[in-house]
Structure 1
Amino acid sequence: MEKPYKIKNNMRHFKFHDTLHYLQHKGREKFGKEFRIHNEDIKTLHKLIIYMIHEDIQCKKYGIDLKKGILITGPVGCGKTSWMQIIQTIILPEQTFQVKSTRDIAFEFNQNGFNTIQAYGKRQRAFCLDDIGVEQNIKFYGNECNTIAEILLQRYDLLVNHQIVTHATTNLTAKEIENLYGKRVRSRLRKMFNLISFPPETKDKRK
């Protein structure tokens, strides 16, 4: 039986290829034996790994700010959501975070109203908004609200006041995010996130 490869936070050196091997093993446990790491993804995964284990020297090299969260962008099906789940196998339990679809949050707003915004916007721990931009404005008793925009603004306040990070994934470009959420939200996103991108030519791995 394969032994897990454990990574300690703030370590100066780590065996990157051993880490990839371990993550592929955990990916197959979760998603099936067909799961594998593609060569085209390795540069992106390297940045994701060094952020998650707080490898500060390499993070500085790539301009990654450990005080911010991460925004993972890339084409549909490139693996953004899957990797935000798998990557948590190499971090400490107290650093783990829920990955929640923005579409599901929007539907929760339809059921529970503005309490939904408070529940996610003011959550006092790291959190990942998955697939921002796919949700639509949902009405609650006739009141329309850009639910995710409001949550992002509250999460920005959490970062500023309590140093609690937020993560996110999206298929959108920066301009598309601005068109959907407005200039104020886009401005906040620059201060909230490190951008980690899968190449635009990355293939849909679900096919």
Structure 2
Amino acid sequence: MKGKATYMITEGGVDYTLGTIKNNYIHYDFDKVLIFLEAKGKNLFGQHFKIYDEDHPIIFKLCIYAIHEVDYCKKLDIDPNKGILLTGPVGCGKTSLMKLIRHLTPHRKAYKIVPCRNTVFNFNHLGYKTIEDYGSDGYYCFDDLGVEPTGRHYGQDCNVMGEILLSRYDYNENPAQNRRIITHATTNLNAAEIEDRYGNRVRSRMRSMFNLLAFDMSAKDKR
């Protein structure tokens, strides 16, 4: 029977133990994961970065999703085959956590953080090629969904992010595709506001695309 080996990630020249490896399976220790994430956060965002105790429950859910911990995902009703829609008030740390959590699994392909405003700016210059580029493939986290302006290209208005989300949904529904694409997003909007912004059709598709993880609306501004 194989013994246990330590699983570590090196950050800033320091080795951080995240758990043990047994029978080719990593058993993570959440307390040790938090230590690593705070160290990584300080390197990414500055020495002021801190993981707050009140955020541990939502960080735990993000972690079990990232590492595909099947039993906990099932217990917490998280589908590893869907993306994450992380919601909460302005400044609660949504973007920082989505930037941070992807470093927990360096052996997997990392998603790119794409500000939704940037997709609209790209559309204004390049037109519908932007929707084709972001809507058909790639591994993205669309940041600040719902605050982007309406796109306009050669006088034609377009709800750019709504079209991108529909395109990514359609991509997965196409039987000719041999793999699914995962979409993540952060937003300050609630479900009703998302429907007002993008319409019922997009909101309906989002239910099948995302696991909804929400900060408490009383979460403090950490900026």
Q: Into which bin does the TM-score normalised by the smaller protein fall?
A: over 0.9
**Contact between 1:159 and 1:192, CA under 8 Å: does it hold in 2?**
no
- Rounded to whole Å, the distance in 2 between the matches of 1:42 and 1:58 is 15
* Matching of residues 26-41 of structure 1 within 5 Å: 26-41=40-55
The farther-off stretch of 11-20 and 27-36 is 11-20
Deviations, residues 42-95 of structure 1 (Å, cap 9, x unaligned): 000000000000000000000001111110000000111111111111113542
Query: Is 1:145 paired with 2:162?
Result: no
Equivalent in the alignment of 1:86: 100
**Contact between 1:74 and 1:199, CA under 8 Å: does it hold in 2?**
yes
The farther-off stretch of 83-92 and 186-195 is 83-92
Deviations, residues 96-123 of structure 1 (Å, cap 9, x unaligned): 0101000011011111111011111112
The farther-off stretch of 150-159 and 37-46 is 150-159
**Contact between 2:18 and 2:29, CA under 8 Å: does it hold in 1?**
no
Q: How many residues align?
A: 204
Relative to structure 1, the CA distance from residue 199 to residue 135 in structure 2 (aligned partners, 3 Å threshold; closer, same or farther) is: same
Equivalent in the alignment of 2:195: 178
SS in 1 for 2:59: helix
**Contact between 2:116 and 2:145, CA under 8 Å: does it hold in 1?**
yes
Equivalent in the alignment of 2:220: 203
Q: TM-score, normalised by structure 2?
A: 0.87
Query: Is 1:154 paired with 2:171?
Result: no
How far the C-alpha of 1:6 sits from its partner, in A, is 5.0
Task: Give aligned-pair identity as a percent.
Answer: 48
Q: TM-score, normalised by structure 1?
A: 0.94
Query: Is 1:17 paired with 2:34?
Result: no
- Rounded to whole Å, the distance in 1 between the matches of 2:158 and 2:34 is 41
* Structure with max Cα Rg: 2
The farther-off stretch of 158-167 and 60-69 is 158-167
Q: Which has the higher helix share?
A: 1
- Matched letter for residue 155 of structure 1: R
**Contact between 1:12 and 1:57, CA under 8 Å: does it hold in 2?**
no
Deviations, residues 3-58 of structure 1 (Å, cap 9, x unaligned): 134578x9473200100110000000011111010011000000000000000000
Residue from 127, 132, 137 that aligns with 1:113? 127
Equivalent in the alignment of 1:60: 74
Relative to structure 1, the CA distance from residue 91 to residue 12 in structure 2 (aligned partners, 3 Å threshold; closer, same or farther) is: closer
Q: Which has the higher strand share?
A: 2
Q: Which has the higher contact order (CA 8 A, sep 6+)?
A: 1
SS in 2 for 1:130: strand
